[in-house]
Structure 1
Amino acid sequence: MQRKLNALAVAIGLLAAAASVSAQEMVVKIGHVGPVSGPQAHYGKDNENGARMAVEELNAKGVTIGGKKVKLELIAEDDAADPKQGTAAAQKLCDAKVNGVVGHLNSGTTIPASKIYNDCGIPQVTPSATNPKYSQQGFKTAFRLLANDNALGAGLALHAANNLKLKKVAIIDDRTAYGQGVAEVFKKTALQRGIQVVDEQYTTDKATDFMAILTSIKSKAPDGIFYGGMDPQAGPMLRQMDQLGLSNVKFFGGDGICTAKLSELSAGAKSLGNVICAEGGSSLEKMPGGKAWKAKYDAKYPGQFQVYSPYTYDAVHVLVQAMIDAGSADPKVYLPKLAAVNYTGVTAKVAFEADGELKNPAMTLYNYKDGKKVPLN
């Protein structure tokens, strides 16, 4: 009988100790939002993979904030690249009292969501939204991990003028905050450099038939076409350019078209060989930890890499580093440390300007050779 009582006492003691350890472990919630449904789901899934990989690695390593062991939890939401769904997802994360947010992917969802995060005091780090307006709203909670459209649109126009010596271009945009913004910067810089803009056309981020606008553009005989939008439209557009005999016209775009999937979406179009696109960061080969990180990513998520997952990975680390520096996961407490963070990530050395923009962001131009995206610089 005494032996049973002793065994029971030991069991109770073990349970109490486990409960005590559990009580000391703090759960920190990191929100992630991107389009994991709809035509842009390949971007959203790639982004979510990067964030999830960071959370899992940090949990395996063990994180302590303010003397307490922390378990990170990723709260992932889908905004389907739709602004209304994006603000609903943002409100949901606010209501869930997440400690920080990585996202959104698109400028059209990120900008309206940023007001909601600002109003509820939750820091937001976007890994991919590039419209300059995001950082011009004066929100102290808003941070960006890559170059904005002022760099991307201008860089492409300068390449067209200085290196390719183009004389005439046409411009198409999808009327989203991203597409319209990057197209406006390209146009402004092209005109400053003496390039004539011979036609401007508009489409949507849902369209797949571009024959009418491309036929109009063909009649103006441009040397190049700039498209402000995403790859689900750029792929069919390249195929239709082939059909209209525009295969030799240069095709420019920002990071929205600059994906591995563009080759698949263009289905072997000759026009793919004339694509020149820009990303607001270094190529994987030139990122501080790019090659090693990509090998880990491909082992975990084979065939899913697109563009931005290294940035979502870094965004999680930057948020957690700020919490560690502050000794608190309370957004009000760690926000000043996030603004002053100095972190060497996979993508770059991360430090922010006063408006939340990344200090000294890189920009890389790419083209496609034999269907594969390769850096030009």
Structure 2
Amino acid sequence: MGRSAGSSPGIHPCAVNSEGVKRTLLSASALLTTLLGSAAHAEVIKVVSVSPLTGTRATLGVEFRRGAEMALRLHTPAFNKLGHSLKLLPLDDQGNPTRAGLLSGVLQGDNHILGIVGPQNSGVVNALAAALKPSPIAMVAPSSTNDDLTQQGWNYFNRLPSPDLAQAGVAAAFLKAKFRPRRVYVVSDNTTYGNGLTEVMQARLAAEGVKVVGFLGASTPEQIEDVLRRIKGLDADLVYFGGTDLAAAAVLKAMRKGGVTVPFAAGHGVFSAAFVEAAGDAAEGVVFSSPMAPLEKLPAAQAFLREYRARYRAEPNPRALAAFESMNVLLLATLNEIGGVKGKVPTRAQVMAAVRKVNLPACTGTGVCMNPSGPLSFDASGERRTSRVYMLEYGKGGVPELLSTETTSR
């Protein structure tokens, strides 16, 4: 064959280009190998959010998950810098304590899991924390208030909100001053949360000199009808309800439909859009206590509020902020235990101890804040050292109006 025009003897016209391509491919292959090797050696750290993601309580459960997600995004760069791959595992408890056994198996079976935010409800918290006792994992509960939860000696359990006893003390004094009731009827929805809150509320009302004329658990239509008959027969001039949002709405609507117009007061279970929607116009005038404030009333929460709205195109319930704060505590504790040592993975026991050492002062300004609800640290039982109890009232359109704020310290 003849030579190509312009080529040199014995040299293929594409030889130089082929060699360059070969070198480029080898370089790209080396880079890919390096990247894959780095990813393969990244230490995985998992944290978990536990809340109802299906069923009637799913709306608030999704808020929990979103709050946890926002905290995770905030801390991911710090973990990546230390050679860790940080992952969130959202678990669905369906608001049902009977799922604790299944969930504890998942949690204890994955050694990458170092901490839990949640669950949302006191009954599920109690069941899950008890199930985890043989092989504990750090827990930070954003909204569970039952007094017994911090009396079990669980060194792995901590919570953000004021317990029922603190809320009941504030609420009883407030209701006495506002309504001057003579005869109060108390109703629970038969949940762990409802039963615990109504028990301490009866005691606090009595301490305020207010007579409790009756108490009954009501979670079915038949039980609600029974409650209605008793309220009428005992001539109660105020009804206090302890329990969840939809159960509260059912009792309130039955009262108003049955001609009972006396004031209706409750705990923070009614602090939800689901209650307002289910109760309709009857929600107006309902007074309730809460360990969480409307986010618009917290100057340090405005950055969180803006990001939540932009990311999820929705208005957050205060429980989303509580989950955000709880996850921040968990991740800060983990980072503190890592101590800047690249690749170090703390043990579950180390994270448990580190959570109890977290001490966040109140934020100033309106920038990013990890604890917008106020200073955050825990005592030896897992109670928050400084917390608040808010008294609120639903106005027109179900808009909560802040009536008072009390600070409690331990």
Q: Where do 5+ consecutive residues of structure 1 fail to align?
A: none
The partner residue of 1:162 within 165, 177, 182 is 177
Deviations 1:22-41 (A, max 9, x none): 14433221111111222211
One-letter amino acid of the counterpart of residue 312, structure 1 = A
Distance, in Å, in 1 between the alignment partners of 2:101 and 2:374 is 29
1:236 aligns with 2:250: yes
1:273, CA displacement in angstroms? Answer: 2.5
Secondary structure of the residue aligned to 2:46 is: strand
Percent same amino acid at aligned positions?
25
Query: Residues 104-253 of structure 1: matches in 2 within 5 Å?
Result: 104-204=119-219, 210-247=224-261, 249-253=262-266
Deviations 1:196-240 (A, max 9, x none): 111211113x65972331122122121211111101111122221
1:304, CA displacement in angstroms? Answer: 5.4
Bigger shift: residues 283-292 or 145-154: 283-292
The residue that corresponds to 1:289 in the other structure is 300
Distance, in Å, in 2 between the alignment partners of 1:199 and 1:22 is 63
Deviations 1:227-281 (A, max 9, x none): 111011111222211112222x121111111223322110222xx2331111113
1:292, CA displacement in angstroms? Answer: 2.5
Bigger shift: residues 67-76 or 194-203: 67-76
1:282, CA displacement in angstroms? Answer: 4.0
The residue that corresponds to 1:46 in the other structure is 63
The partner residue of 1:365 within 391, 394, 397 is 391
Residue 253 of structure 2 contacts residue 279 of structure 2 at CA under 8 Å; is this kept in 1? yes
Distance, in Å, in 2 between the alignment partners of 1:131 and 1:72 is 31
The residue that corresponds to 2:403 in the other structure is 376
Q: Where do 5+ consecutive residues of structure 2 fail to align?
A: 1-17, 339-344, 362-370, 405-410
Residue 241 of structure 2 contacts residue 264 of structure 2 at CA under 8 Å; is this kept in 1? yes
Distance, in Å, in 1 between the alignment partners of 2:138 and 2:128 is 12
Query: Residues 73-84 of structure 1: matches in 2 within 5 Å?
Result: 73-84=87-98
One-letter amino acid of the counterpart of residue 64, structure 2 = N
Distance, in Å, in 2 between the alignment partners of 1:88 and 1:275 is 38
**Residues 1:208 and 1:313: Cα distance change in structure 2 (over 3 Å):** farther
One-letter amino acid of the counterpart of residue 120, structure 1 = S
Distance, in Å, in 2 between the alignment partners of 1:140 and 1:323 is 16
Q: Which has the larger radius of gyration?
A: 2
Deviations 1:165-218 (A, max 9, x none): 2111001112211100000111001011111111211113x6597233112212
Residue 376 of structure 2 contacts residue 386 of structure 2 at CA under 8 Å; is this kept in 1? no
**Residues 1:207 and 1:83: Cα distance change in structure 2 (over 3 Å):** farther
Distance, in Å, in 2 between the alignment partners of 1:9 and 1:160 is 77
CA RMSD in angstroms, aligned pairs only: 2.0
The residue that corresponds to 1:334 in the other structure is 351
1:142, CA displacement in angstroms? Answer: 0.2
1:301 aligns with 2:312: yes
One-letter amino acid of the counterpart of residue 365, structure 1 = M
Distance, in Å, in 1 between the alignment partners of 2:293 and 2:58 is 24
Residue 174 of structure 1 contacts residue 229 of structure 1 at CA under 8 Å; is this kept in 2? yes
Residue 288 of structure 1 contacts residue 348 of structure 1 at CA under 8 Å; is this kept in 2? no
- Tell me the matched-pair count: 370
One-letter amino acid of the counterpart of residue 67, structure 2 = G
**Residues 1:58 and 1:64: Cα distance change in structure 2 (over 3 Å):** closer
Distance, in Å, in 1 between the alignment partners of 2:104 and 2:177 is 42
Distance, in Å, in 1 between the alignment partners of 2:212 and 2:136 is 43
Secondary structure of the residue aligned to 1:96 is: coil
Runs of 4 or more off by more than 4 Å in structure 1? 206-209
Residue 36 of structure 1 contacts residue 44 of structure 1 at CA under 8 Å; is this kept in 2? yes
Bigger shift: residues 117-126 or 17-26: 17-26
Residue 295 of structure 2 contacts residue 318 of structure 2 at CA under 8 Å; is this kept in 1? no
Distance, in Å, in 1 between the alignment partners of 2:100 and 2:301 is 30
Secondary structure of the residue aligned to 2:59 is: helix
**Residues 1:35 and 1:207: Cα distance change in structure 2 (over 3 Å):** farther
Deviations 1:17-71 (A, max 9, x none): 2023314433221111111222211111111111122223333xx0238x72333
